[in-house]
Structure 1
Amino acid sequence: MRQIFLGIGILVGLAACTPAAEGPQPHVWTTLDGQPPLVIAHRGASGDRPEHTLEAFRLAISQGADVIEPDLVMTADGVLVVRHDHYLSTTTNIADLPEYADRRRTQGDREDWWVEDFTLAEIRALRARQPWPQRDASYNDQFLIPTFEEVLDLAAEHNVRTEPEVKAPGHFTAIGLDPLPVLVEILRARGLDTADAPTAIQCFEPDFLARLNGEVETRLLMLVFPMIELDTEADPLTPTVSLEDAATFADGVGPSKALLISADGDDTGFVTRAHALGLAVHPWTFRDDVPVSEDMDIDAELQRIYALGVDGVFTDFPATAVQVRDAMSDG
């Protein structure tokens, strides 16, 4: 098994032989390495800026995020660009550009514009938009769609980690745009193909991660969600890939938070089982503006998840996750 995903920073030292009554004691983290959990900026500070823009990533870094997370899709000319979906209507202004009106087509059950039909030069003509209706739209149509390498440049400049997710690699491979060799080339060129590199690659498709595991030593994160979303007869706490299977090729798991706490609010034991297999746990996604329930705000939700011993959290609002974590660290 390769080196486990390590957090950044140093472990708070134990108080020097003084009575506990003299002040609060440092929080003892039950993460895999005993470090405070990582705050992972999900698509950047996507709650405050259009997602997957350099501006969203810069804001996340300024808010104290330890890791920035770009999703990767492929252009027609084989360039990895940063978008969550490979359709473009929800996060860009493409519908307003008459020169691309005839490029809209149906794929599956969706009619849209698709990134694989556009070259990088054409993608550069687009501008990003905020897809969430309740969020600030005042930055719409201002920011470019970045390439993966531009996000890596930004991360290196600010000395933060990255956790890129390869989206729908099976689809892209099927149409002749296999992202794996391009990804491997970029990782190797930047010295990010080692177990101690400041990055980890995520994906929902185990076959892709297993292939990647044979090419590089970069840490891998298997993304999972409840199998019941695919099979209504499944146990709601069964993940799409078992922890035992994930441990054969990955260094960590990125579970839906629904797998960590039961409907009754109890710890499911997912984190403990993952840690026993040497897997780091980075659950998703924590959002200030999407409350879990009327009885639990985002601070309470993060406190509950941190207390389980997770090794990182994906969040659209890094400032909040940093604030809650730091308050717990201070006791």
Structure 2
Amino acid sequence: MTLSHVRCARHALSAAALLALAACSMPGAGPTPLLTLDGRAPLVVAHRGASGYIPEETIEAYTRAIELGADVIEMDLVVTKDGVLITRHDPNLALSTDVATKPQFASRKKTMQVDGETQTGWFSQDFTLAEIKTLGAISTDAERPQQFNGRYKIPTFQEVLDLAAAQSKATGRAIAIYPETKNPTFFRDMGLPMEDKLIAMLERAGLNSKTAPVFVQSFEPGSLKYMKSKGLKTKLIQLIDGDGIDMKTGAMTYAVPVDRPYEWTKAGDKRNFDVMVTPAGLAEIAKYADGIGPWKRYIISIKGTIGADGKPVDLNKDGKINDADASSMTPTTLVADAHKAGLFVHPFTFRNENRRLATDYKGDAKNEYLAYYRLGVDGVFTDFTDTALAARSAWLKETGR
């Protein structure tokens, strides 16, 4: 490049800089508009509390998530023998408690079907609340801290409601709650329906309104529709699940019990969850709900590298095939399609472990959040509140905020 070319380039750069400065000073100039449905920053939803650090769905996990700065704490509700709502992800207590170590309950171990899946363990509907309170919560992931196993008790939903209220007062910010009716058809079949109990508890807490800091979610449309018909006025969210990803194509795969809402299975409806993410499916959801909670792979799927033998290649050579051996695909239009239908979008679940991060995120979970924030999601379910918040701050800065 000649000296005159350098001078010209500098002149052009200076002109561009001046134009940029002028634009910043012009009336109405400001940050890039956000693509969220309401134009606000996306919510950080603490999935089962700070479950990346502390055994999930305990008071301690929820308290830690709030300390980390979560906007919302999320909980799954199952029912005890005496009809009390408790916060567990599964009716099968063997999955998240130390019940297997309690000799007094050994005789209650059994095999049964939960939403069409055969499971062996100990089940919440066979235990009173008093018995549940003798159990300790355990980590559900071997890669996560184990030193807290058995130390923390299983809370009732009421105890979590009380915590959210107390922490909202203490912190001066509204801590929203995000309860899920878990396996509602299963519990109804057991003679332990949960929906009326949930409505009554929210009503007593003064939280039964559209503007209350409450999101009620379910994988079963019938549960949401029933609660709405019975006077539940909070924001309602239709969850949308899937089983896995075909590493050759990036297509969603389906298997019991996450292939379709269990109520559909009982009714002989053979459709899978994917019908919900079509424009017609979203239009149907908009008749009874305010938003969707899709598995994140409906928004950005992944695809592996296929070897000469026709099988996915173990790129990081750790002896396992997982997300770390795959790359992200081009995003779908689900976020925009849902927004067009008037529905907000809260995908699940974001986690920090490297085995759960596609190769293009380069081992940094913040890069995954950024990819979704840029698409306009309205919130994220995360096991690691602090990482989600750090990524949100970076993204807001990126948009000029």
Determine if the TM-score, normalized by the shorter chain, exceeds 0.5: yes
Q: CA deviation at 1:225?
A: 2.3
Tell me which stretches of 4 or more aligned residues in structure 1 moved more than 6 Å. Answer: 231-236
Do structure 1's residue 255 and structure 2's residue 322 form an aligned pair? no
Aligned to 2:241: 225
**Within 1, Cα distance between the matches of 2:374 and 2:339?**
14
Q: CA deviation at 1:323?
A: 0.5
Q: How does 1:169-184 map to 2 (within 5 A)?
A: 169-184=184-199
Whether contact under 8 Å (1:253, 1:279) holds in the other structure is yes
Letter in 1 for 2:210: A
Whether contact under 8 Å (2:301, 2:329) holds in the other structure is yes
Letter in 2 for 1:329: L
Aligned to 2:131: 122
Do structure 1's residue 205 and structure 2's residue 208 form an aligned pair? no
Whether contact under 8 Å (2:217, 2:239) holds in the other structure is yes
Whether contact under 8 Å (2:76, 2:89) holds in the other structure is yes
Q: Deviations over 1:128-150 (max 9, x none)?
A: 11110000001111101000011
Higher helix share: 2
CA separation of 1:212/1:323 partners in 2, compared to 1, >3 Å: closer, same or farther? same
Q: CA deviation at 1:115?
A: 0.4
Aligned to 1:286: 350
**Within 1, Cα distance between the matches of 2:300 and 2:273?**
11
Aligned to 2:107: 102
Which consecutive residues of structure 2, in runs of 5 or more, have no partner in the other structure? 1-19, 169-174, 243-251, 261-269, 303-327
Aligned to 2:391: 324
| SS at 2:69 equivalent | coil
Instruction: Provide the aligned length of Structure 1 versus Structure 2.
Output: 313
Q: CA deviation at 1:294?
A: 2.5
CA root-mean-square deviation: 2.2
**Within 2, Cα distance between the matches of 1:236 and 1:206?**
11
Aligned to 1:146: 155
Do structure 1's residue 72 and structure 2's residue 77 form an aligned pair? yes
Higher relative contact order (CA 8 A, sep 6+): 1
Whether contact under 8 Å (2:34, 2:376) holds in the other structure is yes
Among 352, 361, 370, the residue aligned to 1:303: 370
Do structure 1's residue 53 and structure 2's residue 92 form an aligned pair? no
Whether contact under 8 Å (1:27, 1:329) holds in the other structure is no
**Within 2, Cα distance between the matches of 1:85 and 1:236?**
20
Among 98, 105, 115, the residue aligned to 1:93: 98
Q: CA deviation at 1:28?
A: 3.3
**Within 1, Cα distance between the matches of 2:373 and 2:147?**
33
Q: CA deviation at 1:328?
A: 1.4
| SS at 1:68 equivalent | strand
Whether contact under 8 Å (1:27, 1:328) holds in the other structure is no
Q: CA deviation at 1:234?
A: 8.2
Aligned to 2:164: 155
**Within 1, Cα distance between the matches of 2:345 and 2:360?**
25
Whether contact under 8 Å (2:42, 2:377) holds in the other structure is yes
